[in-house]
Amino acid sequence: MPCANIFYFISASIAQWIEYSPPKAGMQVRLLLEAPKNMFIKKLDACPEFIAGDGTILKEPLHPAKADLKLNYSLAFAVLRPGKISQSHKLKSSEVYYILAGEGKMHINDETNQVGINDTIYIPPHATQYIENTGAEDLKFLCIVDPAWKIEDEEVL
């Protein structure tokens, strides 16, 4: 069967293969549904948005309690609006921030530093921390918590 195009879609953990030949030869369609064996893909747009205890806007694409994944960590996408400051808090676990957009000041215990795009910040367990958006655009960053974030492991000050 001559095949003009092959389209591959990944949607909600299902791979869909559609093959068809050119319209002149008459449309021939074959649909094969196959669940991925090792790959997990979650679109950020599909993650519910919520306000974290520290006041940041979060979406959590990876968390071992929310998907059948063999992970010890959680991954969240955070947004802090211009002029806003997250509430001071402590986690029992370590945390890493990776800045995707915007600029701000990171506060960990008695240290303060300017942060911006492509900066990676390590926050040790039990450290008092907060971040402020000092720019004119949203401060967007990834948060990795290891072991995975749990509400009982966070103390908002």
Each domain of the chain, given as residue ranges in start order, spans 5-34, 44-156
Question: Which pair of tokens denotes residue 64?
Answer: 């071992």
Contacts of 51 (CB under 8 A, 6+ apart): 57, 58
Report the distance separating Cα 94 and Cα 92, nearest Å. Answer: 7
Question: pLDDT per position in the chain (157 positions), as tens?
Answer: 333 333 333 333 333 333 434 444 555 545 445 555 677 788 888 888 888 888 899 888 888 888 788 888 888 999 999 999 999 999 899 999 999 999 999 999 999 999 999 999 999 999 999 999 999 999 999 999 888 777 777 788 8
**pTM to 2 decimals?**
0.73
Q: Are strands 89-91 and 154-156 parallel, antiparallel or unpaired?
A: antiparallel
The DSSP result for the chain, as a single string, is: ---SEEEEEEETTEEEEEEE--GGG----EEEEE--SS-----GGGSPPEE-TTS-EEEEEE-TTTSS---SSEEEEEEE-TT-BPPPEEESSEEEEEEEE-EEEEEETTEEEEEETT-EEEE-TT--EEEEE-SSS-EEEEEEEESPP-GGGEEE-
Q: Provide CATH code, domain 44-156.
A: 2.60.120.10
